[in-house]
Amino acid sequence: MNQLRKKYVYKNKVMLILCISMTYNLKRGGIIMKTKNSFTLLENQKDVKNWLAKQKVSRTITKLQVHHMDMPSYSTWEKTDKKVFSEPHFGRTQSLDDYGKRTWHYSDGHGHYIAQHFNVFPDGKITTGRNLNSTPIGIRGWNTNAICIEIYGCFDKGHDKMTAAQKKAVIYLYGELCKRFDIPVNTTHIRPHCWFTASGTYLGKYNSSRSAKTCPGTAFWGHGCSVDGFAHFIKDVKNYVNGKKEEEHKEEKPKEFKQYIARCTTNDLNCRKGPGIKYDVVDVINKGVAITIIEEKEVDGGTWCKGKAGYWVNKKYLEFVRYV
């Protein structure tokens, strides 16, 4: 009898292991999407399309927000998320949800506090976040009837450059959302965070002195968030919705800076070690001194110029003389 019981228990253990293995294979085959704590991992275009088709959404949705996370950046993805979390996509999503619970305490009514509805990661995978029937916490004055999407990374000038996989995922996520909710692909219905002030006033373009943030980045989509710059993003989403092939963006060679001579217009002008007031003063020049400018950089809404001697000065205290 004991021998028979041992065989029976052993047999059931084997069957249990086989069942677990089959479930894993089904998930890997794309039949069952990976889910953890009610967040779902969308690994490709088909997953996005299928997941959206199954959602029962009673809230009217007419608008899509465009954000970058800023922090975390790509460096966080490589040095922290992929090392700290056993599954980095779920790990980071849960971390964002925990932050929301500690910070604004505004639940989506389904046990989550994360601000956004979707997160797009550097490897092109997407996690769901806030329930689609809940208003996001994204752009003051433009949250009603909106879906909030956060793109992992910092896309300001000089920071992260969006991977091809992430860019592809961003296009088909916005495209599928437009198709699912019949949203026209234009800037009346798809807007970046930086086109609004902190109080929610709509600006219609990025304004370095008035915009709430630079989000989704001063180099977003390779062109930034001016009206003309953001139009490149809109065009790619529209092409996807219309079934056209994604526009190929050739790597643009940076324009060679045209050096010029400028004259100082004030006395006691600080010359700094780098572009910005956070850098140490290394010299002082007076009115009338001529400088050969070899480089310019935009910092905190102002332009800084690098002289041939290696120091930096604020452009507003210079006047153009002639090109070299």
Q: What is the DSSP string of 231-244?
A: HHHHHHHHHHHTTP
3-class secondary structure, 99: helix
Q: Which spans in 196-306 are helix H?
A: 227-241
Sequence ranges of the domains in the chain: 35-241, 260-323
Of residues 299 and 182, the one with the higher pLDDT is 182
Q: What average pLDDT does the segment 287-309 reach?
A: 91
Confidence of residue 301 (pLDDT cuts 50, 70, 90): confident
Burial class (CB in 10 A: 0-12, 13-18, 19+), 263: middle
Confidence of residue 254 (pLDDT cuts 50, 70, 90): low
3-class secondary structure, 306: strand
The DSSP letter of residue 195 is G
What is the per-residue pLDDT for 12? 47
What is the per-residue pLDDT for 31? 52
What is the per-residue pLDDT for 90? 98
**What CATH number was assigned to the domain covering residues 260-323?**
2.30.30.40
pTM above 0.85, yes or no: no
Q: Which CATH architecture has domain 35-241?
A: 3-Layer(aba) Sandwich (3.40)
Tracing tokens 């930034």 back to the chain, one arrives at 224
Q: What average pLDDT does the segment 203-217 reach?
A: 96
Residue 230: what residue type? F
State yes or no: pLDDT of 251 exceeds 90: no
State yes or no: pLDDT of 64 exceeds 50: yes
What is the per-residue pLDDT for 224? 95
3-class secondary structure, 257: coil
